[in-house]
Structure 1
Amino acid sequence: MPDLPLHLWYSITNLGGAGLTLPLAIAIALWLLAGYSWRMAASWLMLLGAAIGLVTLTKIAFLGWGVGVRSFDFTGLSGHAMTSTAVYPVAFFLMLQGVRPTLRAAGVGVGLAIGVVVAFSRVVVDAHSPSEAVTGCIVGALTALVFVRYWWEARSGRISTAVVALSLAAITFSLHNVRVPTHRWVTNIALTVSGHDQPYVRARWKANRTIRTPGTPTAPISQTRDTLTPPAQRHA
């Protein structure tokens, strides 16, 4: 990867943020509903929802109970890596309807490449470990490829490729810097279901050190993973 300035890596990492990828996913579902069928739209939302659920469960498991893999520095799937590798390939698949199969497959490949670059950016900005970025990519890629493979033969003449492309591009440009506090929401859920006052954090978890606080017999001290990482970018 090129040695880019840090602000450019943050710009790349924003391509995987929930404030952008989730609206894109919804727009894709609406186009699928309008141009193909409700089954196609529903299958897309179900696959993506299952992947998002898996990401959320791994994060809750770590934040609430410290469940992870220390040897791989794994504390949960990267949400940015997962959503980018899931959403962008399907976006290209939709935008390239009606073109030659090889060109459409190349478009899906470009979408996957975007997801990989986003995943790499999560490691560069110190928001995730390599294992978290890679596993997030794998889950996202499987989500996209299962959908694309199942619906590869689907045909539609009811929607304009140009209009679809323009609408998805407009969403990408307009929402590129929109940030959603997903990490805070997941942390609140984890604390609620675990009954702890403080979430597990990477540094103390790796050192295997915990302290006692009132009402939480084994709750660790809460601290940010890296004060240089913007809150909206951590662990998403």
Structure 2
Amino acid sequence: MPALPSHLWYSITSLGGAGLTLPLAIAIALWLALGYTWRMAVLWLATLGAAIGLVTVTKLAFLGWGVGIRELDFTGVSGHAMLSTAVYPVALFLVLLSARPSIRLGGVLLGIAAGMVVGVSRVVLVAHSPAEAITGCIIGALAALVFVRAAWHLQPGRLSALPVAVSLMALSIALHDVRVPTQRWVTHIALKVSGHDHPFVRARWKAGHHRPAAAPLSQTINTLQPAPHSSDV
């Protein structure tokens, strides 16, 4: 992995946090509704929602029932990787909507690349395995490309690029390190649905244990993602 200082990896991984990417996604939807139609806004939110649902299902399956792939160290799709590769390409697409198609496509690819870097940060910080980060990037990129394909022929010029860019940039700066305890929420849902008192934990699961950890819930949640900045969808 690239030899960057740890604080830079933490800053990069924060770009994929739900506290930043979800407000950006809502801002994108509002701009779409303002400049075009609510139909496009709903399409964007529905596409992203489907990707979030898929990530959540994989996490619930592991936390509640220990469903994963040991050979790949896979316990659930990385939400950071998925959200960043879904949101940033669409944000750049919206900003560049009035530009030439080649520039617009370049923006989308740049957004996907940024999301992939976030995925790498999750592996470097030992918050996810490579398989979990890669699947997150794939799902996020597919969600972005599905929406971009549907919106590619939107009439340019109905939104001014400057206010869109400034608003999204301001959100990114203001919310860069805002953390949302999504992992804790998903864990509580998994326990509620599965009926278990304690969630499955990666280390015990990899060792072949078929029962959830018996440690106190607060301690167990803290060990689900060993690195800081590890709240995930």
Aligning the two structures, in what range does the TM-score lie when normalised by the shorter sequence?
Answer: over 0.9
CA RMSD of aligned residues (A): 1.4
2:165 maps to what in 1?
A: 165
SS at match of 2:154: coil
| Whole-angstrom distance in 2 between the partners of 1:114 and 1:192 | 35
TM-aligned CA deviation for residue 110 of structure 1:
0.6
Contact 2:127 2:225 in 1 (8 A): no
Residues 30 and 41 in structure 1, CA contact (< 8 A), matched pair in contact too: yes
Aligned to 1:220: 213
Q: Which residue of 2 aligns with 1:16?
A: 16
Q: Give the aligned residue type for 2:227.
A: T
State the partner residue of 1:214: none
Q: Partner amino acid for 2:10?
A: Y
**Distance change (3 Å), C-alpha of 1:101 and 1:156:** closer
1:92 and 1:107 in contact (8 A); partners too: yes
How many residue pairs get aligned? The number is 228
Partner of 2:200: 200
1:229 Cα shift?
1.5
Matched ranges for 1:174-193 at <5 A: 174-193=174-193
- Aligned counterpart, 1:51: 51
Paired residue secondary structure (1:178) = coil
Deviations 1:129-187 (A, max 9, x none): 00000000000000000110111011143321100000000000000000000000000
Which residues of structure 1 form unaligned runs of 5+? 211-217
SS at match of 1:120: helix
Aligned match of 1:94 = 94
Task: Tell me, yes or no, if structure 1 residue 229 matches structure 2 residue 227.
Answer: yes
Q: Describe the SS at the equivalent of 2:199.
A: coil
Cα distance in structure 2, aligned partners of 1:103 and 1:189: 43
Runs of 4+ in structure 1 off by over 6 angstroms are none
TM-score scaled to structure 2, two decimals? 0.94
Alpha-carbon shift at residue 97 of structure 1 (Å): 1.3
- Partner SS state of residue 15, structure 2: helix
Residue aligning to 1:108 = 108
Which 5+ residue runs of structure 2 have no aligned equivalent?
Answer: none
Aligned position for 1:85: 85
- Normalised by the size of structure 1, how large is the TM-score? 0.93
**TM superposition shift of 1:228:** 5.3
Partner of 2:126: 126
- Structure 2 distance, partners of 1:24, 1:226, is 27
Give the distance between the partners of 1:68 and 1:118, measured in 2 at CA: 22
User: What is the Cα deviation at residue 221 of structure 1?
Assistant: 3.0
Identity %: 64
Quick check: 1:31–1:164 contact (8 Å CA) kept in 2?
yes
Contact 2:82–2:136 (8 Å) recurs in 1: yes
